[in-house]
Amino acid sequence: MSKVKKIIIAALIFVVLAIVAMIPIPYVIESPGTAEDVSQFLTISGAKDEDQGTLRVLTVYVEQATVLTYFKKFLKHHELLPSEEVFGDYTPEEFDALQDFSMRNARSTAVRVAFEAAGKTVERHVNGIFVTRVDQSSNFRDKLQVGDIIETIDGKSPGNTDESFEDLKDYLAGLEPGHTLVLQVKRDDATMTISAPLKMDSRTGGIRLGFGGEVDEDVTSDPSVEFDPHGVSGPSGGLMFTLEIYNQITNSHLKNGHNIAGTGTIELDGTVGRIGGIDKKLVAAIEAGATVFLAPDDEITDEMRARYPDIKSNYEEVKEAAEKLGTDIKIYPVKTLQDAIEILENL
C-alpha cells in the first residue's frame, strides 16, 4: 500500500472516529457552575449597593453527554445522569422554556417577598397562565404547547388578585366532562383561539383539563427593580435574589463584609424550597472563596421518604458533601427568608 493511501485511510478513520465521538447519548453531565455576585443581576432605582461583602447565586453546569464526553464522569465533581432524570418527558426546547419561566417567576416572587418583608407593597400584573405541561391523552395535545400563555379561559381572565384566580379555579371545578373549553392563547407574538372538549377524570368523575400551568406575572415596585439574568435560568436563585433586594431597600448591611453563598427557591410565604445539585453548588461556592453557605432545610414528608428511602434534606446533603471535601465553610440551615436574615444579622 502506498504512503498516500495510508494517509487517506488514516484521515478517514480519524474523521469517522470524530463523528462517532460527537454522537449524543441519553445522558447529561452535571458539574459545578458559577458563583456570581447577585448585585450584578439586578438594579434598584435610587439604591446604592455600598454594603461590603457579597451575596452569591450558584449554578450547576448541565451538558448533553456524547460518546466522547461520557468519560467526563470520571472527573472530579462530575456526575453522569440519565437524561430523563433531568429533563423528564420534556424536549430540550420545552425544558429551556420552563427554566426561563422559572427564572422569571423566581424574580417576581423575590420582589414581592422582599418588599413585603420590608413593609412595602408592589403592584401585580398577571399576563395569564403559563402552560407547563400538556398530557399525552389530552384533547389539547396537538393544540397547546409548553410555553404558551393562556390569557383567558371561556372568556374569563385569571385577574390580578388571588381572589380572581380562585374564582377561575372554582369556575373550572364546576364544569362537566364534554364541555368545550375555549382558550385565548398567546404564543410568541401571536394570539390565537384554541378549543377542545374536556375529558372525564376516571378517579373523580369530574373533568380532567389535560394540561397544567402556573400564573405568569410581572410586578412593579417603588423603588423599581430591574433584572439582567446573565443567561442564568431556573428557580434556585430565589432566596439570594430576595436577600439582595431586601438588603438594598432596607439598607440592612446583611453582607457585613462576608462572602456569602446560598441557594433555594422562594415561595410567596417566605418558605425556602429544595433545589437540585447542591453538592456541586457547594464546590462552586468554595471555589469562589465563600465562607458562608445558606442551604434549604426542606421538610422530607412521609410520602417522599416512602418513595425515596434514602432521601435527605438539602442541608443534610450539603453537610455530607462538605465533610467529604474537608472544607471549613460554615453551612447554615434555612427554612424561611426570616431565618436567613437572622443568620446574616448575627454573623
Strand order in the sheet with 292-296: 79-82, 24-37, 54-66, 259-262, 292-296, 330-334
How many Å separate Cα 315 from the centre of its chain?
Answer: 18
Residue 231: give its domain's CATH number: 3.30.230
Q: For 124-143, what is the mean pLDDT?
A: 93
117 domain residue, yes or no:
no
Identify whether residues 156 and 130 lie together within a single domain. Answer: yes
Identify whether residues 244 and 325 lie together within a single domain. Answer: yes
Identify whether residues 271 and 332 lie together within a single domain. Answer: yes
Number of domains in the chain: 2
Identify whether residues 155 and 43 lie together within a single domain. Answer: no
Residue-wise pLDDT for 187-226, tens only, equals 998 999 999 999 988 888 888 999 999 999 999 999 999 9
Identify whether residues 242 and 339 lie together within a single domain. Answer: yes
Confidence of residue 119 (pLDDT cuts 50, 70, 90): very high
282 domain residue, yes or no:
yes
335 domain residue, yes or no:
yes
Identify whether residues 202 and 243 lie together within a single domain. Answer: no
188 domain residue, yes or no:
yes
Structural domain harbouring 228:
33-66+223-345
Q: What is the pLDDT of residue 232?
A: 78
Host H or E run for residue 1:
none
Identify whether residues 146 and 40 lie together within a single domain. Answer: no
pTM of the model: 0.88
182 domain residue, yes or no:
yes
Residue 176: give its domain's CATH number: 2.30.42.10
Which of 193, 218, 243 terminates a domain? The answer is 218
Residue 198 DSSP label: P
Which of 162, 190, 218 terminates a domain? The answer is 218
Confidence of residue 35 (pLDDT cuts 50, 70, 90): very high
Which of 171, 201, 218 terminates a domain? The answer is 218
Q: Which residues pair with 64 in a beta bridge?
A: 28
Confidence of residue 10 (pLDDT cuts 50, 70, 90): low
Identify whether residues 246 and 323 lie together within a single domain. Answer: yes
End-to-end CA distance of the chain: 75
Choose among 46, 103, 39: nearest CA to 236. 103
Q: What is the pLDDT of residue 16?
A: 61
Q: Which residues pair with 195 in a beta bridge?
A: 182
Host H or E run for residue 188:
none
262 domain residue, yes or no:
yes
308 domain residue, yes or no:
yes
Identify whether residues 243 and 280 lie together within a single domain. Answer: yes
Judge whether residue 118 has pLDDT over 70.
yes
Q: For 250-276, what is the mean pLDDT?
A: 95
Residue for grid cell 465562607? 291
